[in-house]
Amino acid sequence: MVTRRLFVVVAAGVAVLWLAASVSAGFAKAPQGGGIAAERQNQVGLTSLARAHAERLLRDRLACLGCHRLGDEGGRIGPALDGIQDRMTAARALSMIRDPAGTLPGTIMPRQPMPERDARRLVAYLFAGQEAPRDRPLAPRPARPDLPADQRADGATLYARHCAACHGPEGHGDGWNAPALPVRPTAHADADLMSRRPDDTLFDAIAAGAYILGGSPRMPAFGEMLDTDQIRALVRYIRSLCACEQPAWAGDVGGP
Q: What is the pLDDT of residue 213?
A: 94
CA distances from 90 to 35, 94, 130 (A): 10, 6, 11
Q: Domain residues of the chain, as ranges?
A: 26-126, 149-250
User: What does the pLDDT look like over 33-54, one tens digit per residue?
Assistant: 443 333 333 334 578 898 999 9
* Res 144: pLDDT: 53
- First and final C-alpha spacing in the chain: 69
Quick one: pLDDT at residue 145? 56
**The pLDDT value given to residue 148:** 79
Beta bridge partners of 74: 69
Residue of 186, 143, 182 lying closest to 163 (CA atoms): 186
Pairing relationship of beta strands 69-70 and 73-74 according to DSSP bridges:
antiparallel
Give the C-alpha separation, 204 to 76, whole Å. Answer: 25
Architecture of domain 149-250: Orthogonal Bundle (1.10)
Helices H, strands E: what count in the chain? 12, 2
Whether the domain at 26-126 and the domain at 149-250 fall into the same CATH topology? yes
Residue 16's pLDDT is what?
41
How confident is the prediction along the chain (256 residues), in pLDDT tens digits per residue? 444 444 334 444 544 444 344 434 443 333 344 433 333 333 345 788 989 999 999 999 999 999 999 999 999 999 999 999 889 999 999 999 999 999 999 899 999 999 999 999 999 999 984 434 444 444 444 545 577 788 889 999 999 999 999 999 999 999 999 999 999 999 999 999 999 999 999 999 999 999 999 999 999 999 999 999 999 999 999 999 999 999 999 975 454 4
Domain 26-126 annotated CATH 1.10.10.60: no
What confidence score (pLDDT) does residue 128 get?
Answer: 81
